[in-house]
């Protein structure tokens, strides 16, 4: 069985963010040591029956870019680069569309150190290509 489209999107995002030199982790993993780091998570998934000969899926992803208190410029630059990556995704066998990524910037003081946190949210619409 082939991997579902949301797994391919997740793997693409992880691979591309790691290539930027930013360590990634999932919501269930411990935060890696050192900054910057990035958490990638699938927020929700939905499928529709809009087409009689194809499946359509909707996926929402959230990417948290975390950096040190005094690294706001680096944090914003990394978030911008990741937003560019989010726009470039392609999956063989699927038509992929997306909303424009939304960025929220905040200071996170929920841990023992103050962090710059850039939250990117993006929705993907994926249509399974059909063979004729």
The pLDDT of residue 51 is: 66
The pLDDT of residue 1 is: 46
Which residue ranges in the chain fall short of pLDDT 50?
1
The pLDDT of residue 92 is: 86
Yes or no: domain 5-128 corresponds to CATH 3.10.180.10: no
The pLDDT of residue 129 is: 64
Q: Distance of CA 92 to CAs 3, 48, 50, 100, 130, Å? A: 11, 20, 21, 21, 12
Instruction: Please say whether the beta carbons of 27 and 21 come within 8 A.
Output: no
pTM of the model: 0.87
Taking Cα atoms as reference points, which of 118, 102, 98, 99 lies closest to residue 5? 98
pLDDT in tens, 100-116: 999 999 988 877 788 89
pLDDT in tens, 35-55: 899 999 999 888 776 666 777
The Cα 58–Cα 80 span in angstroms is: 23
């Amino acid at each position: 069985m082939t991997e579902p489209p949301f797994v391919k999107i997740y793997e693409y995002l992880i691979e591309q963010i790691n290539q930027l030199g930013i360590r990634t982790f999932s919501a269930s993993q411990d935060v890696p040591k050192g900054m910057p780091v990035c958490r990638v998570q699938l927020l929700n998934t939905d499928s529709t029956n809009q087409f009689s000969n194809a499946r359509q899926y909707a996926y929402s992803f959230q990417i948290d870019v975390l950096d040190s208190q005094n690294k706001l410029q680096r944090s914003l630059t990394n978030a911008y680069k990741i937003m560019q990556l989010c726009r470039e995704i392609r999956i063989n066998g699927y038509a992929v569309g997306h909303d424009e990524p939304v960025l929220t910037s905040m200071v996170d003081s929920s841990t023992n150190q103050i962090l710059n946190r850039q939250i990117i949210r993006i929705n993907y619409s994926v249509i399974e290509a059909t063979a004729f």
